[in-house]
Structure 1
Amino acid sequence: MRVLTRRLSAALRSYAAAGAHHSRRNFSTYSLRIKSQPLGGGLLESPWSATQLRGARFSGGDVKPGNVIERRGKIYEVIKAQHSTQGRGGAIIQVELRDVDSGNKVNERLRTDESVEKIYVQEKSFEYLYTDDGDTGNVVLMDPKTYDQLEVQPHLFGESRVFLQDGMEVSVQLYDDRPLSASIPNKVTCTVVEAAEAQKGSGTPPYKRALLDNGLTVQVPAHITTGDKIIINTTDNSYVSRT
């Protein structure tokens, strides 16, 4: 019932906003959903990766986290990149890649002088509506300009999806209209629903555990109490300040 209510609320909001700007357009136009369904593994099974124009080639030594590259007919997002030297073998870069089709992660080694094909993506802002509690568990977003809805697989947000809040502005990287990755703001306000007693220690000031309204447990200063609203750094789940 809760999901149905949220969906109805989102649809009504889209309809009202659309009607204010485009009164002659039919409501069905604004209820369009661009679905993000996993595809197969190969290039021929992923027509979106075959039709999009490729970017320029660059060397393996220039690969950085956040880059989107093509290797062996598949499209990957670079999650981690670490340079190292292997004696006479020369410099290499150890990379963790995420297959944008399956979400699976792989680790590979690239030579710093190896030619790598970079894919250029489009970054757009969306508004978070709700997370489907059904079989897909997809995150449903809305384009604030067109009011079209976009379903994004939850793994694209990574661990940060726990911070998603109603109406939050999020960023999505799109490749040929296909979501590749998604991110939330670096700082988010949360409410403390339970705060432990401060433990004596070497910390100055002493820290203690606190349970947030999203179910996450973080370390907070001793003066934080139940009901406080605090700002959390979503990149490392660390306490920033009290609002």
Structure 2
Amino acid sequence: MVEASGLKPGMVFVLEGELHSVASAGYHAGGGQQGSAVFARVKNLKTGHIRELRLHPGDRLEEVALDHKEMEYLYADGVAFYFMDPDTFEQISLPSATIGAYEKFLRSNMRIPVALYEGEPVTIAFPHAVELSVVSAPPGVHEHATSTFKTATLENGMEVLVPQFIKEGDTVRIEVASGKYVERVRRETRKP
């Protein structure tokens, strides 16, 4: 059990019989007739719906520990996403609502941790950032090389704003939550 005042992003707890993940939580001290409160945004791991909660700091919630198993992404059929355990070759599926915005970052044969609760898959533990190749980018404008951005298309079809020095074939790191450019990934070149 965890008190509402101890909620932190990423924690998973049971609310009304369903698993919820904390997206954000903040404590607000009360004044006058208003008591203090904890405001939390939580995501239902089954349906993907996001709710705003107002809790008393002393409210107790049943915290849940999820197991993580690395699985290989296979394909999607419009209703669900399918993953395979590389050790046992057992396949599991997660509903499309559970994957949500992460869909555009999944690639065939990609290995990704799947969160399990009592042996049942509930969500994926996507990394904070992913590396993608640039498939098209207009040439840079030299006089604005440091202060302006241009639009580049990535291998997954996403269009993102990148600095002027990014060109086709470069690999860039993209923040998953926001879909924004983070940095160019430099590959070490070794001379024989």
The count of aligned residue pairs is 184
In structure 1, the partner of 2:104 is 162
The counterpart of 2:173, out of the listed 231, 235, 242, is 231
- Which runs of structure 2 are paired with 1:34-73 in the superposition (5 Å)? 57-73=1-17
Output the CA distance in 1 between the equivalents of 2:183 and 2:156.
Answer: 17
Q: Percent identity?
A: 27
Q: Deviations over 1:116-158 (max 9, x none)?
A: 111222121111112224xx1x111111111111111233233
Q: Supply the RMSD in Å over aligned alpha carbons.
A: 2.4
Kept in 1, the 8 Å contact 2:166–2:184? The answer is no
Q: What is the deviation of 1:85?
A: 2.5
Matching residue within 156, 177, 183 for 1:214: 156
Aligned to 2:29: 85
Cα contact 2:145–2:163 (8 A) shared by 1: no
CA distance in 1, matches of 2:24, 2:122: 16
Cα distance change, pair 75–187 in 1 and its aligned pair in 2 (3 A): closer
Query: Aligned in 2, Cα 1:202/1:91: closer, same or farther, shift over 3 Å?
Result: farther
Q: Which amino acid aligns with 1:111?
A: H
Deviation at 1:161, TM superposition (A): 2.2
Among 31, 38, 41, the residue aligned to 1:96: 41
Q: Does residue 182 in structure 1 map to residue 127 in structure 2?
A: no
- Contact 2:47 / 2:97 at 8 angstroms: preserved in 1? no
- Alpha-carbon contact 1:199-1:207 (below 8 Å) kept: no
- Aligned residue for 1:87, secondary structure, equals coil
**Among residues 25, 28, 50, which one is paired with 1:105 in the alignment?**
50
Q: Distance in 1 between matches of 2:113 and 2:64?
A: 18
Distance 1:174 1:201, change over 3 A: farther
- Find the aligned partners of 1:86 and 1:199 in 2 and give their Cα distance: 53
- Residue in structure 2 matched with residue 240 of structure 1 by the alignment: 183
Q: Contact 1:169–1:184 (CA<8 Å) still a contact in 2?
A: no
Structure with a larger share of its residues in helix: 1
Q: Determine if contact 1:194/1:226 at 8 Å carries over to the other structure.
A: yes
Q: How far 1:236 sits from its partner (Å)?
A: 3.4
Distance in 1 of aligned mates of 2:35 and 2:131: 46
TM-score (norm 1): 0.66
Please identify, of 219-228 and 231-240, the stretch whose mean Cα deviation from structure 2 is larger. 231-240
Secondary structure class of the residue paired with 2:19: strand
TM-score, normalisation: structure 2: 0.82
Aligned to 2:73: 128
| Match of residue 12 from structure 1 | none
Runs of 4 or more, structure 1, over 3 Å off, are 196-203
